[in-house]
């Protein structure tokens, strides 16, 4: 089942939205654990107790105009809502750069054993093979591994890549074809988000 990042309340049954959103016709149907965007001024007035045309953002409940009311603002607010939802979701996970030279031996050993172990991980290798990002759902963490640093300390990067790739439980990706243009723009230079977002929102 496709994961959802937010609710969109729209009484127009024909309206279509990105599959990462839970589209409902009534506010009573929303998932309260997710941010919500209400479509249409009248709907917003009936839902939001402190409604204001000047303030379309009250915490995790936001509203925008319908396309008929103000098409441009509807489009821009949808993009902004998508960005907000993705960033909010990603903030629930940790990112840790693997600093071998600063870790005690015991931590290095335990981490290597885990990276080579059978627990499923999603791995993203940059084009120049200088960096690998490894996402673990179990630990809700993305690790950043500098393969250049591996070479520097005498660990052959090719052997590291081969070892991780040889694990049939790992998912290895080389790009962001799973993401649409908007999601790619949100990712930007934050390449550590790629394996995380692929795991939850890539095609199953």
pLDDT for the residue numbered 150: 86
Residue among 75, 86, 1, 73 nearest 35 (CA): 86
Q: Are 132 and 179 in contact (CB under 8 A)?
A: no
Q: Which of the four pLDDT bands, split at 50, 70 and 90, describes residue 203?
A: low
| pTM exceeds 0.75 for this model | yes
What is the pLDDT averaged over residues 95-111? 85
For the chain, helix, strand, coil in percent to 5 are 40, 20, 40
What percent of the chain has pLDDT above 90?
A: 52
What is the pLDDT averaged over residues 124-132? 88
Residue 19, pLDDT > 80, answer: yes
- On average, the pLDDT of the chain sits at 89
């Amino acid at each position: 089942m496709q994961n959802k990042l937010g609710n969109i309340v729209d009484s127009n049954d024909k309206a279509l939205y990105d599959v990462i959103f839970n589209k409902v016709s009534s506010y009573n149907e929303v998932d309260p654990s997710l941010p919500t965007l209400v479509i249409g001024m009248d709907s917003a007035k009936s839902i939001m107790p402190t409604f204001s045309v000047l303030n379309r953002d009250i915490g995790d409940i936001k509203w925008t105009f319908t396309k008929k009311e103000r098409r441009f603002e509807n489009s821009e607010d949808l993009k902004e809502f998508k960005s907000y939802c993705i960033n909010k979701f990603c903030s629930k996970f940790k990112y840790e750069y693997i600093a071998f030279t600063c870790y005690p031996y015991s931590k290095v050993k335990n981490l290597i054993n885990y990276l080579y172990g059978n627990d499923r991980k999603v791995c993203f290798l940059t084009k120049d093979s200088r960096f690998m990002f490894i996402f673990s759902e179990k630990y809700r963490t993305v690790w950043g591994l500098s393969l250049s640093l591996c070479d520097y300390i005498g660990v052959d990067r090719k052997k590291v890549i081969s070892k991780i790739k040889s694990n049939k439980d790992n998912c290895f990706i080389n790009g962001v074809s799973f993401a649409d243009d908007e999601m790619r723009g949100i990712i930007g230079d934050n390449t550590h988000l790629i394996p995380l977002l692929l795991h939850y929102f890539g095609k199953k």
